Structure 1
Amino acid sequence: MKSTERQKEAKEWFSSLAPVQPIEMVGLWRGAGIPSDHPLDGVLENLGWFGKRFHADMRADALLFQWRPDRLVAIDPGILPIGLAIRAAPFGRSRIARNWFSYLQKALRARSTTASLRLQSLERVATAAMVYDRQPIVDYFRRINGEDLAGMMCVKDDARRYFFKLRRVGITSV
């Protein structure tokens, strides 16, 4: 299947899902990529991505990584330009990148929340969206079922979309 076809199918699937209200997002969520032939497919998982955390004040930890089995670290996505991250994606899927990232997590740690959660329209449908503070990125969310949400990362001036799913977890699950 051609890359553009897989992207088109993923976009159509995402559009078919029900919208989500921002208040429903509050809490801790475990993430997993949904393969769609986006350059970032597999990168976050390789680096130990855990998911996202949404706070009651509608602020968010956009990128949470598993530092140790009992510790999550919020990373500041504003440190590395998204265009560079996309170009470096093949390296991001390597064992070397995983090892380096494990050592760099402390230096990349966010000092506070890194995004805002709000209701925003996508294709004339209002749904929860996470707007990054220091990146030209918006993650839109839709409901897959009672437990899972789908996310679609949109980077300004890039027609490709990165898809992921989120499942709510309890504090004791971490």
Structure 2
Amino acid sequence: MSGIGERWKALRAVEGLVDPAELDALWADLETVEASSLLGHWLGFAFLTGHPIEKVLAASRWHGKRFDALDDAKPLICRAEDGSLYSDTKAGRGEASLWNVEFRGEVTATMVYDGMPVFDHFKRVDDTTLMGVMNGKAGVVLAEGRHFYFGLERETPDRTRGPGC
């Protein structure tokens, strides 16, 4: 496993809170990714840093994201009580689209939310894994100047997650 892969695995394994500075350092070392390469279904998880968005996603039973086309992205695929998946357009205030956008001096794939000033920037960990940083206005996304960090794993028939995501 590469150095980046080892760092990723170590951060995923942290019990308790992850230091956002470690996530920032890993982000800086990852490769940018083209928006068109993200199309498909993705399982999501939050890096626990104490960011308020973590509680919102847990309460919504966030499953992941789905990118059907560059202009058809579903940021909040959630699991209903009956186990079915749905796009939570109420919480997300609509859906989103994918663009290549500059963030921290690099152009990388970014999901732009339709109904609120929020951007999810993505970089590649490996062929099936992305790191995401949610960015936006203070009071909407930024919590005391801190971003929300998450990961996505490409969903395949053998890589799915059941209820309680």
Range into which the TM-score falls when normalised by the shorter chain? 0.7 to 0.9
2:105 corresponds in structure 1 to 124
Between the aligned partners of 1:78 and 1:18, the Cα distance in structure 2 is 27
Once the 2 structures are TM-superposed, how far is the Cα of residue 46 of structure 1 from its aligned partner?
Answer: 4.0
Aligned residue identity for 1:20: V
Between the aligned partners of 2:40 and 2:58, the Cα distance in structure 1 is 21
Structure 1 gaps of 5+ residues are 80-109
Between the aligned partners of 2:24 and 2:122, the Cα distance in structure 1 is 12
| Corresponding position: 1:138 with 2:124 | no
Once the 2 structures are TM-superposed, how far is the Cα of residue 155 of structure 1 from its aligned partner?
Answer: 2.1
Once the 2 structures are TM-superposed, how far is the Cα of residue 34 of structure 1 from its aligned partner?
Answer: 1.0
Aligned length: 136
Aligned residue identity for 1:129: T
Please report the TM-score for the alignment, with normalisation by the length of structure 1.
0.70
1 or 2 for the larger relative contact order (CA 8 Å, sep ≥6)? 1
Between the aligned partners of 2:124 and 2:49, the Cα distance in structure 1 is 18
Aligned Cα RMSD in Å? Answer: 2.1
CA separation of 1:78 and 1:33: change in aligned 2, threshold 3 A: closer
Write the mapping of 1:2-151 to structure 2, written as runs, cut at 5 A.
6-67=19-80, 68-69=82-83, 71-76=84-89, 77-79=91-93, 114-151=95-132
Secondary structure in 1 aligned to 2:41? strand
Structure 2 gaps of 5+ residues are 1-17
Do 2:36 and 2:70's aligned partners in 1 also have CA atoms closer than 8 Å? no
Higher helix share: 1
| Corresponding position: 1:166 with 2:147 | no
Aligned residue identity for 2:67: F
Amino-acid identity (%):
30
Do 2:70 and 2:99's aligned partners in 1 also have CA atoms closer than 8 Å? no
